[in-house]
Amino acid sequence: MRWLLLKDLQILRRSPLQSTLLVAWPVSIAILVGLAISGTPDKPRVALLNEVPGDARVTVGTRQLPRIGVEERICARVECLLVESRGEADEAVRSGDALAALVLPADLVDRINSLSTPSPTTPQVEVIVNEEDPVRARLVNDRIDALLAQANLVIGRRIASEGGRFLGLVLDGGEIEVLGQTVEILGLRRAARILERVRSRLPAGELRDSVDTGIRFTKLARDNLDTAVPLLRRLSQPIAVEKRVVEGASPPLESFAIAVAATFTLAFVVVLLVAGSLALEREENAFPRLTRGLVSPAGLLGEKVALGAAVGLVVTLLMLAGLAFFVPLHWSRFGLWLVAILAGAGALGAAGAALGAAAREVRAVSLLAFMVTLPVALLSLVPSGAVGVAADDAIGVVTALFPFKPALRAMTGALDPAGPGLGPALLHLAALAGAYGLLARVALRRFGSV
C-alpha cells in the first residue's frame, strides 16, 4: 500500500493546479474566516438623520418628561453614521456605507405627545434600506424591529413611570408644576383624614352620613388605585424571561465558525481527492492491472482513504495554524483535534471512495463530489427547529447519512471544551465509514468494465 500511496503523492506533486489549490484553499479559508471572526463589527453601521429639535420633550398630561436621548440610545446599539440630509442618507445606503438609514422626523415628538390628546397621530420614523440582497434586507429588518421595540419600551417605561407618579399624587398628595406655578394636590389619603376629623365633630344625622359616604369613596378609590400602580409598572415589561439551559453549554460562536471552516476544508479535500484518485486508476486503465493480484480492491480502497486522511490532516492543520494568527485556539486539545480530523477524514474518505467507484470518471466524480458535499454541508448548518417539522426531519435524515455533520460535531467538540462530546460523533463516523466502505467495495465490482 505504501508504494501506491507514494505514487499518488508523486502524481499530486506533478499536478501544479491541484497542489496549489490544496495549499491555497486552506490558507484562503483561514484568512477569510479569521478576518470574519476577528474583524466583524459588533454593531451594524446605520446612517442617522435626527431632525427632532433639541428642546423637544415628550409630555404626559401637563408635565414634560426628561430628555430621553434617542440619538444616544440608538448610537449605543448601532454604529451611527450621522448625516445631515435625506440625500446623504440615501447615498450612504445605496453605496453600502451603511446597512440602513434611520430618519427621526422633526414632528416625531409632537406626534408622540398627540397620543394623549383627543386627536392622536401615529408617530413615525423613516427607514431607508437597500433590499437588493434579501439576506441583508432580512438582517436590516430584524435590527430595525429590535431598535423600534427598544424605543417603544423606553417611552413606555417613562410614561408608566410618570403615570405612576401622577397616581401617587392622587393617592398621597404633593406638589406639581403647572404652567410655571406650583400647585398643591391634596391626595386621597389626606382628604380621607380631613373627612374623618370633620366626621368626628359632626352629630349623627344626614350630614355625617354624607361624610361617611365620602370617606368610603376615598378608601375604595385608594385601595383600587394602589393596585393600579404596580399594574402600570408591569405594563412596560409584562413578560419577564427566565432562561434555563437543559443540556451542556454551547461553544463560543468563534469556535463553531472555526470548526465549520475546518470541516468544510476537510470534507472537500478528502472527498474530492479520494474520489478523484480512485477514478484516475480507471482512467489510466491501471485498475485491472493492479487488481490482478498486485493489490486487492479493498486494499486499494484503504490506500485511497489513507491518502485522503493524510492530505486532509495536513491541509486542515495548516488551516487551523493560519487561523491561530487571528483567534486563540486551545492547543492543549491538539490530540483531540487529531482524533476528530482523522475520524472525519476516514468517514469522508469512505464516502469519497463510494462516489469515485460509482461515478468512475474523474470529471463526473468531481461534479458528483461537489453536488453531494456542498448541499449536505450547507444543510448541516441549518439549526434544528429553524424550519418546519417535516423539513427538519428530512434535513436530519439527509445530514445523518453523510459524514459532514458528525465530522463537524467531532471538530467542534475537539476544538472547544464547551463543544459537544466526541464519543457519539466518533461512533457515528465509524458507522458511516463502514457503510460507505461497503458501498465502495460493491461499486468496485463494475469499476473495471466500460
Q: How far is the CB of 280 from another protein (least distance, A)?
A: 8
Among 225, 286, 314, 439, binds another protein (CB under 8 A): 286
Classify the phi-psi angles of 248: left when phi > 0, otherwise alpha if psi is within -120 to 50, otherwise beta: left
Among 87, 288, 417, 434, binds another protein (CB under 8 A): 288
- Among residues 119 and 285, whose Cβ is nearest to another protein? 285
Distance of alpha carbon 8 from alpha carbon 304, whole angstroms? 9
Which residues inside 15-54 make contact with another protein, applying CB under 8 A? Answer: 15
H helix intervals, 40-85: 70-77
Distance of alpha carbon 240 from alpha carbon 181, whole angstroms? 40
Q: How far is the CB of 448 from another protein (least distance, A)?
A: 7
Instruction: Report which of 208, 207, 169, 160 is spatially closest to residue 189, judged by C-alpha positions.
Output: 169
Among 10, 119, 200, 332, binds another protein (CB under 8 A): 10
**Which one of 258-266, 281-289, 318-326, 337-345 is the stretch in contact with another protein (CB under 8 A)?**
281-289
**Which one of 73-81, 114-122, 290-298, 357-365 is the stretch in contact with another protein (CB under 8 A)?**
290-298
Among 42, 179, 292, 383, binds another protein (CB under 8 A): 292
Position 149: which residue type? A
Asked if residues 373 and 403 have their Cβ atoms less than 8 Å apart, the reply is no
Tell me: does residue 442 bind another protein (CB under 8 A).
Answer: no
Tell me: does residue 197 bind another protein (CB under 8 A).
Answer: no
**Binding-site string for another protein from residue 233 to residue 272, where x marks contact by CB under 8 A and - marks none:** ----------------------------------------
- Continuous segment of H or E residues that includes residue 360: none
Tell me: does residue 289 bind another protein (CB under 8 A).
Answer: yes
Tell me: does residue 363 bind another protein (CB under 8 A).
Answer: no
Tell me: does residue 370 bind another protein (CB under 8 A).
Answer: no
Instruction: Report which of 103, 149, 148 is spatially closest to residue 128, judged by C-alpha positions.
Output: 103
Among 142, 177, 223, 284, binds another protein (CB under 8 A): 284
Tell me: does residue 11 bind another protein (CB under 8 A).
Answer: yes
Q: How far is the CB of 433 from another protein (least distance, A)?
A: 26
- Among residues 19 and 28, whose Cβ is nearest to another protein? 19
Q: How far is the CB of 2 from another protein (least distance, A)?
A: 9
Distance of alpha carbon 352 from alpha carbon 55, whole angstroms? 69
Tell me: does residue 295 bind another protein (CB under 8 A).
Answer: yes
Q: Going by DSSP bridges, is the β-strand pair 79-82/45-50 parallel, antiparallel, or unpaired?
A: parallel
Distance of alpha carbon 69 from alpha carbon 57, whole angstroms? 10
Q: How far is the CB of 368 from another protein (least distance, A)?
A: 22
Distance of alpha carbon 378 from alpha carbon 194, whole angstroms? 76
Number of neighbouring beta carbons within 10 Å of residue 120: 12
How many binding residues for another protein (CB under 8 A)? 19
Among 49, 99, 267, 290, binds another protein (CB under 8 A): 290
Asked if residues 29 and 265 have their Cβ atoms less than 8 Å apart, the reply is yes
Among 119, 285, 332, 335, binds another protein (CB under 8 A): 285
Count CA within 13 A, CB hemisphere, residue 292. Answer: 6
Position 22: which residue type? L
Q: How far is the CB of 297 from another protein (least distance, A)?
A: 12
Residue 80 CA, distance from chain mean position: 22
Kindly state the cell numbers that stand for 43: 454593531
184 exposed, middle or buried (CB, 10 Å; 0-12, 13-18, 19+)? exposed
Q: Both ends of the chain: CA-CA distance in Å?
A: 26
- Among residues 174 and 299, whose Cβ is nearest to another protein? 299
Q: How far is the CB of 290 from another protein (least distance, A)?
A: 7
Q: How far is the CB of 1 from another protein (least distance, A)?
A: 10
Tell me: does residue 4 bind another protein (CB under 8 A).
Answer: yes
Kindly state the cell numbers that stand for 438: 461497503
Contact residues for another protein (CB under 8 A)?
A: 3-4, 6-7, 10-11, 14-15, 284-286, 288-290, 292-295, 448
